[in-house]
Amino acid sequence: MTKAWVGLITAAMVIASIAYAVIAASQAWILLVSQDPLQIALAVAIIVIPVIGLALIVRELWFGWRTRQMGQTLAAENALPTYDGDLTPSGRPTKADADRNFERYAQEAENNSEDWRAWFRLAVAYDDARDRKRARAAMRQASNLYVRSLHS
């Protein structure tokens, strides 16, 4: 999928979410003016749920943008993580080689706990080792350290 398609799909999802929020808000207004406690409670739910959903979308878009920014910085520094080992037919690292590679990046992050670059590489190693939950947590840590490094 090309970058243009991803942007187009993302824009369509954001527009659809905003349209839903506008429709939901207009329905909530009708319920609010009814002065019935049950309908007012429903109106509050109609307003709060889309706002939470929109906040989650914005959070994920921000996460993706920040991850891309960090990756571009590492690419410019020629410091992207490297993988040494065999690949499966689908192109993913083999589990055994990914685990060996992971040890190297885990040690680097442990030795340089305040370096966003080490945490970024660790996140990629977690992903190669098929541990998405820890990969995202490590990338969030990298992002937090990256933002701190920009402000210092």
pTM: 0.73
Res 44 pLDDT > 90: no
117: pLDDT strictly greater than 90: yes
Evaluate if residue 88 carries a pLDDT over 90: no
What pLDDT score was predicted for residue 144?
A: 95
Beta strands (DSSP E) in 30-137 are none
Q: Which amino acid is at 26?
A: S
Percent of the chain with pLDDT over 90: 50
Residue 143: Cβ within 10 Å count: 21
DSSP secondary structure code for residue 78 in this structure = T
Q: Give yes or no for residue 84 having a pLDDT over 80.
A: no
- Report which of residues 50 and 38 the model is more confident about: 38
Buried b / exposed e across 58-82, counting CB within 10 Å, b at 16+? eeeeeeeebbeebeebbeeeeeebe
Residue 113: pLDDT band with limits 50, 70, 90 = very high
Q: Which residue has the higher pLDDT, 3 or 147?
A: 147
pLDDT for the residue numbered 23: 87
In Å, what is the CA distance from 80 to each residue of 55, 58, 74? 31, 26, 5
pLDDT of residue 125: 93
